[in-house]
Structure formats: structure tokens, C-alpha cells
Amino acid sequence: MSTLTPTPGPVRPARRIRSTPGSAPRAQRENPFARASAMIVMGVFTLYFLVPVWWLLVAATKDRAQFTGTNPLWFADFSLFQNIGALVSYRDGVYLKWMLNSALYAGLGALVGTIIAGMCGYALAKYRFPGRELIFNVVLGGVLVPATALALPLFLIFSQISLTNTFWSVFLPSLVSPFGVYLARIYASASVPDELIEAARLDGAGEVRTFFTVSVRMMVPALVTVFLFQFVAIWNNFFLPLIMLRDETLFPVTLGLYGWNSQVNQIPVLRDYVLIGALLSIIPLIIIFLLLQRFWRNGLSAGSVK
């Protein structure tokens, strides 16, 4: 018995598709004008933000005679370390006291405020209780209220309980962060599974233990983001200490430098101290940003996508 095998027909050569320069999809084309415009805009804004910092760095390295007689954007005789030594020794080191006050206000305030915001946001995200949405809407309303609008009511409240001109008059208001509560709720809703919380409860963990041992580990990017924003806001806070404080030893560095700057006409040497003091005051912010930059980017991206 013979089997019939089909004979292959003539093999036709594959048709070659010619690609022409104009055959690329329009979506993949890059507009040179748009790219150049974007680069110009970014370059202008980069200069806008960096030129004042560069001027401050250059000015802090000059002595008083060279400040007005040399190029304001370039170095002369390098006297940075001499200026720093004169600053920290002026009036028994009052500038170092101001820096310590700012570190206490910003560091402790941001840490405690982040814990409070994280717990409030977690509760609003994972617990069901009457009035939850109303409370969250009030928190959203608090985000829209500027801090300067609350300074005078806070002064009146603290004056009634005799806490003005104390450490607590600046520290306690810094513990409230409506934006932190909002961000913590959004992140907890997306990143902390309800099944994991139920599993922790079945294992015998209480609510507080579940939050600090399970939920906090998943909310670290959001909590670090809240800490960063809160630290910068408290460090740069000026209006609240201006209203609350009268004792110079309690001043943060922002209010202390403002006081010196208002006396420049009477004491010209304070101009040099204000410049070098302003330069040193931004160093902690730069360090915080560099240390927490990775968590900051992760927190923002995860919260926005989820």
C-alpha cells in the first residue's frame, strides 16, 4: 500500500517591506520644539532656585569690606571658617541655642506629629464607626486652612492657660498635621490588607500591637513622607513663634535671624552673621532631604498610583 505525499509547490520569496523615513507612527515622533521649550523652562526655573543659594554661599565666604566691593556672584578672600567662628562666639553662642531650639521644635514635633497622623489615618481607613466620613471631611477642610490664619486664635487660647512664651506654645501646635492624616488614610487603605489585620487579631494581637508591629511596617513610605513635610514646615515656621515667644533663649533660628536682620542699621556686623547664619540654617534641611529622598519618592508614587 503506497501513501501519497503531497509535493511542495514552488516557494515564493517573502515580500520585503520597505521602511520609508516617513512611515514612523506619529505618536513616536519627538517634536524638537517642544523638547527645547521644556529644557528652556526647566533651565530658567533651576537658575531661579539655585542662584540665590549660590549668592548666599558666596556672600558667606566674604568679610564685610568685600561684600559690597567685589563681584556678588563670585568668591574673593575665603573667610568662611572665620565667619562661622565669629558667629558661634557672638553673645555667648546664642545662635547655637537657636539652632538647638529649631532642632527640638522640628525633630520632636515632626516625630510625634507623624505618629499621631499615622494612627488617625489608620483608624479612619480600617475602622467603621458613625461619623467617620464627617471627620475625614473636617480633616480635608483643615488642609485648606493656612497655618497663619490659625496663629492668632492659638495665641488667644494659649494666653488663657498661661502657656505663651514657653516651649509648649510652639511645640504643641506643630503636632497637628491634617495633610499627614489625609496621606496616612489614603496609604493605609491601599497598602494594609484587611486580611492581614484579621490574621493578627486571630493570633491574639491587640489593636495597638497590630498597628505598631504589622501596619506601621507597610506604611513606612507614607510615614516618612509625613515626617519630611512636617519637619520642613516646623523648621521654616516663623509667624507662630513671632506671636508666641518673647524670650530670646526660646527663639528658633528663623525668628532669631529675623531679629538680627531688623538691627542691621544699628549694628552693621549683624549683616555678616545673618548671611552665614542663613547658610548654616539650611544645612539640616539638605541633610534630611538626602537621607529621606528614597522614602519620599516611594511614598508619593505609591500613594498616587494606588
pLDDT in tens, 108-154: 999 999 999 999 999 999 999 899 999 999 998 888 888 888 888 99
Asked if residue 250 and residue 134 are part of one domain, the reply reads: yes
Q: Reduced to 3 states, what is the DSSP secondary structure of residue 201?
A: helix
Asked if residue 298 and residue 168 are part of one domain, the reply reads: yes
Q: Reduced to 3 states, what is the DSSP secondary structure of residue 97?
A: helix
Asked if residue 112 and residue 62 are part of one domain, the reply reads: no
- CA pair distance 92, 75, nearest whole angstrom: 29
- CA angle, residues 132, 174, 247, in degrees to nearest 5: 155
Asked if residue 250 and residue 152 are part of one domain, the reply reads: yes
Per-residue pLDDT for 106 more than 90?
Answer: yes
* 127 occurs within a structural domain: yes
Q: What is the pTM of this model?
A: 0.80
- Of the candidates 78, 102, 137, which is a domain's last residue? 78
Considering only the C-alpha atoms of the chain, give the largest distance between any 2 of them, rounded to a whole number of Å: 121
Asked if residue 63 and residue 131 are part of one domain, the reply reads: no
Asked if residue 112 and residue 68 are part of one domain, the reply reads: no
C-alpha cell at 187: 496609604
- Of the candidates 78, 99, 133, which is a domain's last residue? 78
Domain of 64? Answer: 35-78
Per-residue pLDDT for 193 more than 60?
Answer: yes
Instruction: State the sign of the Cα–Cα–Cα–Cα dihedral 113, 118, 121, 124.
Output: negative
Asked if residue 49 and residue 174 are part of one domain, the reply reads: no
| pLDDT score of 104 | 95
Of residues 165 and 64, more confidently modeled: 165
* 14 occurs within a structural domain: no
Asked if residue 60 and residue 97 are part of one domain, the reply reads: no
- Of the candidates 27, 61, 78, which is a domain's last residue? 78
Candidate from 18-27, 78-87, 219-228 with smallest mean pLDDT: 18-27
Domain total of the chain: 2
Of residues 142 and 22, more confidently modeled: 142
Asked if residue 101 and residue 234 are part of one domain, the reply reads: yes
* 15 occurs within a structural domain: no
Asked if residue 157 and residue 209 are part of one domain, the reply reads: yes
For the residues 270-276, what does the mean pLDDT come to?
Answer: 90
Per-residue pLDDT for 301 more than 50?
Answer: no
- CA pair distance 119, 192, nearest whole angstrom: 13
- CA pair distance 196, 152, nearest whole angstrom: 45
Amino acid at 236: N
pLDDT in tens, 69-94: 777 778 878 888 998 999 999 998 99
Model confidence at 15, in pLDDT bands (50, 70, 90)?
A: low
* 140 occurs within a structural domain: yes
- CA pair distance 67, 94, nearest whole angstrom: 24
Candidate from 157-161, 214-218, 290-294 with smallest mean pLDDT: 290-294
Asked if residue 215 and residue 248 are part of one domain, the reply reads: yes
